[in-house]
Amino acid sequence: MTRLQAHRLQPWVVDEVSIMDIVDCSAFKRLLEVESGRGKFIAVFTTSWCGYCRRLIRELEQANPDFRLILVDISDEGCWDDFGVELVPTAVLYKDGKEIKRVSSPDGLRLRDLKALLLSARDE
């Protein structure tokens, strides 16, 4: 068992990119602790009842994105406050386990929004 699996992550592979579904907020918090020095990734905060979230996940599964991506299920209301999420989906760019930038929209997010988020912090 890998260190990430021990944190109750359920990884699956979409082509060459590993996408991990975080079961709960505490698992994501532990992941942030071990990410120090490991570079950038995008966390997408989602819920099972969000239509925009399901649309984005389908798009990601088909697109083969070329960046590290973690899907965080925040169905638990406490998670929203823990990570400052007001809308789902919300995408947050992290570097070495620290938040750099975030994006959300009442009309949902698309793959192009995640790519723009990553490009906007290219020099950070």
pLDDT in tens, 65-98: 778 888 898 887 788 998 999 999 999 999 988 9
pLDDT above 60: residue 14: no
* Both tokens assigned to 34: 């071990």
Taking the C-alpha atoms of residue 122 and residue 124, their distance in angstroms, rounded to an integer, is 6
Please give the span between the terminal C-alpha atoms of the chain, in angstroms, as a whole number: 33
Per cent of the chain over pLDDT 90 is 35
**Class of the domain covering 3-120:** alpha beta
Domain residue spans in the chain? 3-120
pLDDT above 60: residue 46: yes
- Going from the C-alpha of 78 to that of each of 16, 20, 83, 85, the distances in angstroms are 33, 21, 9, 10
